[in-house]
Amino acid sequence: MSKILNILFLISLLFVSIENSGKKLEKDVGVFTRLPDNKMPKEFQDYMLWVQKMNHKFNLAEPESEEFYKLMHELFNYQIGEKSVIRNPVTVVEPNHVKMGKNSIIMNNALLMASGGIEIGDCTMVAAHAKLISNDHDLYDRSILTMLPIKIGNHVWVGAGATILKGVTVGDHAIIGGGSVVTKDVPPYAVVVGNPAKVVKYLDPEKFEGIEF
């Protein structure tokens, strides 16, 4: 009897593993397996198609118009904070994983690869042509999509054309130099530049006292 139960248990595990194909594999390291698009669940395919269409409509909206803000909040699942804005045009994948605090801005022509999650704090500026990429692929098995969140703090300035890769946390008040490629965490008040980006100086915290954002 015990042998039969063990066999049934193993069979149940097999079905669970098949059922979870395309879902998260290793929570701690952010590794996911995804099937080819034509084999993904229909709900996910429908969502990705909806994102493409909404992204297109948003990019054609007149800046600062009522339609612009309506489409922006709908596209980003109403997770854009008060007085924050994402300028069009923008290219975004899985915008439901993008969250912004208050008084922050992402300028035109940004690329937001948000499968792993992108979180931006308050009063942060992301300049034009920046790229926030929270996912990539396994070097050998390209069907494996690896994801780790990008977290950008408060009062951060991301320079034009900068790239921030998956798993990076940027501390409060830091500056990412234009065109830099950030592969590692950036401490608060640090100024980083280059490819890969390195710390070149630290800002004086006392000089921020009394400044209103």
Catalytic machinery residues:
137
Q: Which amino acid is it at 169?
A: T
Rounded distance, CA 164 to CA 156, Å?
13
Residue whose token pair is 């690896």: 146
Given a contact cutoff of 8 angstroms between Cβ atoms, the answer to whether 81 and 73 are in contact is no
CA separation for the pair 150, 167 (Å, rounded): 5
Q: Please confirm whether the linkage preceding 41 is cis (ω < 30° from 0).
A: no
According to DSSP, the β-strands at 144-147 and 31-33 are: antiparallel
HSE (side-chain half, CA atoms, 13 Å) at 148: 12
Q: What residues are paired with 181 via a beta bridge?
A: 163
